[in-house]
Structure 1
Amino acid sequence: MFTHTDPTLLSEASMLFAYPSCRGMPRWAIYTIFAAGALLILICCLCICVKCCCKGNKKKKKKKKDEKINLNGMNGKTTAALVQPDVTDVDYGTAKKERGKLLYSLDYSAAQSELTVGIKQANNLMAMDLGGTSDPYVKVYIIPDKIKTCETKVFRHTLNPVFNEQFNFPISKSTLLKSTVVMQVFDFNRFSKHNIIGELRVELSNVDWNHVIEEWKPLAEPAKFEEENLGEICFSLRYVPTAGKLTVVILEAKNLKSMDISGNSDPYVKVQLALDKRKWKKRKTSIKKNSLNPYYNESFTFDVSFDQIQRVNLVISVWDHDAMTRNDAMGKIFLGCDASGNQLRHWADMLSNPRRPIAQWHNLLSAEQVNSTLTLKKKIPLVSKMPF
């Protein structure tokens, strides 16, 4: 005789027989274990799906990118088209660069036989530094004689400097009509060669001297027949006002002019002080045989009071030593309150940073240019003895 049994009891009994280890466990614990296991399996499946999808998308993007590059290359819209432009965009094999504009003025005084060149300002100069700016200054000289070279002050981190400087050049009317004014804009670098941004060359025979000329002109690419390069020299300056000590360290020179038949030179450096435009003190380095890039690292210290430092000019000259004949001047510059351009800036940096050595590279000029600008007098006369 069969009796009626509750289905719920049968299901629970079957579970107990199927999972003996679950005997005696509460129902909620069993449900929790099953739920946790199912959630873990779901998470694993989801991660696998996401990974597969991302991998597929990357392949599709890479494929599309390759297709885009290939298509753009065929259409001439990539940077490859800029590297190799169409014939219509080429100007004698080189693309024109916008170097900026320069505002200058010219005025000639026939009574004084003097030409005044004004460097007013520049606009939209080419950026030469990584930060998208430049440190511009302007160099002015007259060719073919080139007896004098002038430089403006350096303006930091700008493409639109306002100079407002004037330079006077003694020149006769007949020489004026055969000369050309050269205005070169450079980017200043303390520890390397200064990069030229652009230049203007104005033939003075084409100028109407009945009135003052003032005009904007775009800067052009530097001429291939640039002036003779005499080399560069690097030295440091240090002044201690309390002790009255001026220290000049001649560090090195490079790209000096060859003076010997062998193609080399035997250079040494002469360091000279002039007080009130009169020769005062001098020292010189050792001689470096057969070198156009000599390294010296030689230091010279002079006693110069704070009152004298305002009236002193420092003359640095490079000479080629000859055992049998007279030594030849290879290049020269001078610094001091009477200097201009980079030389004046180096001197001012030394004075504004007492006790700290300030090093800088300088382009050498011809001895004739420096001598005509500095116009040194004879050596300081000795104090005469008191009469008895």
Structure 2
Amino acid sequence: MQMKLRLRKIRNDTRWRMHGAACSLGTINPELYKTDELEGEYDQYPDDHIGRVWLQLEYFSDSEKLLVNLIKAKNLPSRLIGSINACDPYVRLYLMPDERRYLQTKTRRKTCNPRFDETFCFQITAKELEDRALKLTFYDVDRDKKHQVIGHVLCLLKDLAPWEGKRMIRRDLEREVSLSPRQLGQLELTLCYNDNLERLTVTVGAARQLKVEDDRSDKNEFQARIALMQQTKVTKTKKTGVVKGTDSPSFYESFNFKVAPDALDTTAVCVTVTVGKKSDNVVGRVQLGSFMFSRGKALEHWDQMVARKREHVKQWHTLS
């Protein structure tokens, strides 16, 4: 009888300890649920959705560093119909308006729901934060090793102030984003590439509705500057004549550049419209080139030029 009582007591003590342990393990830790919006398991996506991204920002004023933790993305488009994982995405991060420098994630293979968990650091002063924007551009590397733009996310840093602790952000990708809230005007450009002559021709046509400050005495004196960039370095610069007396000047000047066929993927053309006598009075610019330099309509224009060699491909572009 004493042995039975002793065994029963041991079993009861064991049950109590197991029950206590279960309660301890099952206790909700608020820290684990602070960012449950990151999970997004029940998110609804519209029919034309091209992806959603989750990231975390933190700014350290003492060291003037902006940390960007790119956590994950979901619902990126699959390049093959009927497949849910035909996507090899990676992301480039820019501090706009500087598009020459960027940081880049590793490529995630065969997933439309990549988990990145990568942290990037930008050196920037607190004052500069007011005029900068964080831009994320998503790419997909297809079977032919071509880098196709999926979409973009733009975060105006001034809208995230005050910077106190970590900022959790969830955004949907967009096909086009613009840093400037106001229209700076449009510019007509024509591209032509002759592979036999290894010649790239850029024709600066008309501009329309250029926006400048009203109090400028030379507000209707415009010029366009064309810069050829290779491997992010400006190798040659040319200028149109000055057109006066209108906010919709017609330039219609053509410029030729020597570019080898195998250098097209590392080449870009930046056309900058300036006002007045000083070349640093910039109205806006358009950058055309391969996937390394351009996106959206600018990239489409360049790709059309490459595909339709020796043809003159014309398109209007919005200045930025």
When normalised by structure 2's length, the TM-score is 0.51
2:252 to 297, 306, 314: 297
1 or 2, which has the higher strand percentage? 2
1:251 to 182, 191, 205: 205
In the alignment, which residue of structure 2 is the partner of 1:329? 282
Distance 1:284 1:103, change over 3 A: same
Structure 1: distance between partners of 2:237 and 2:192: 17
Distance 1:234 1:326, change over 3 A: closer
Structure 1: distance between partners of 2:119 and 2:186: 24
In the alignment, which residue of structure 2 is the partner of 1:106? 55
Describe the SS at the equivalent of 1:345.
helix
Structure 2: distance between partners of 1:349 and 1:262: 40
2:275 to 294, 298, 320: 320
Per-residue Cα deviation, 1:40-78 (whole angstroms, up to 9, x for no partner) = xxxxxxxxxxxxxxxxxxxxxxxxxxxxxxxxxxxxxxx
In the alignment, which residue of structure 2 is the partner of 1:341? 295
Query: Which residue identity lines up with residue 310 of structure 1 in the other structure?
Result: D
Structure 2: distance between partners of 1:171 and 1:292: 38
Which shifted more, 312-321 or 329-338?
329-338
**C-alpha deviation, 1:289, in angstroms:** 0.6
Runs of 5+ unmatched residues, structure 2: 1-45, 77-92, 101-111, 137-153
**C-alpha deviation, 1:304, in angstroms:** 1.5
Query: Which residue identity lines up with residue 251 of structure 1 in the other structure?
Result: G
In the alignment, which residue of structure 2 is the partner of 1:84? none
In the alignment, which residue of structure 2 is the partner of 1:235? 189
Which shifted more, 163-172 or 276-285?
163-172
1 or 2, which has the higher helix percentage? 1
Structure 1: distance between partners of 2:211 and 2:316: 17
Query: Which residue identity lines up with residue 170 of structure 1 in the other structure?
Result: F
Per-residue Cα deviation, 1:294-327 (whole angstroms, up to 9, x for no partner) = 12222222222213333322121112242xx666
Distance 1:275 1:231, change over 3 A: same
1:170 to 122, 128, 137: 122
Per-residue Cα deviation, 1:3-37 (whole angstroms, up to 9, x for no partner) = xxxxxxxxxxxxxxxxxxxxxxxxxxxxxxxxxxx
Structure 2: distance between partners of 1:182 and 1:300: 34
Runs of 5+ unmatched residues, structure 1: 1-97, 124-139, 151-161, 185-198, 366-388
1:275 to 221, 230, 244: 230
Contact 1:179-1:203 at 8 Å conserved across structures: no
Contact 1:275-1:313 at 8 Å conserved across structures: yes
Structure 1: distance between partners of 2:72 and 2:244: 43
In the alignment, which residue of structure 2 is the partner of 1:357? 312
In the alignment, which residue of structure 1 is the partner of 2:266? 311
Larger radius of gyration: 1
**RMSD of aligned Cα (Å):** 5.0
Distance 1:270 1:179, change over 3 A: closer
Contact 1:180-1:203 at 8 Å conserved across structures: no
Contact 2:223-2:240 at 8 Å conserved across structures: yes
Structure 2: distance between partners of 1:346 and 1:292: 25
Query: Which residue identity lines up with residue 310 of structure 2 in the other structure?
Result: R
In the alignment, which residue of structure 1 is the partner of 2:90? none
Structure 1: distance between partners of 2:68 and 2:183: 26
In the alignment, which residue of structure 1 is the partner of 2:27? none
Size of the aligned set, in residue pairs, is 221
Give identity over the alignment, percent: 19
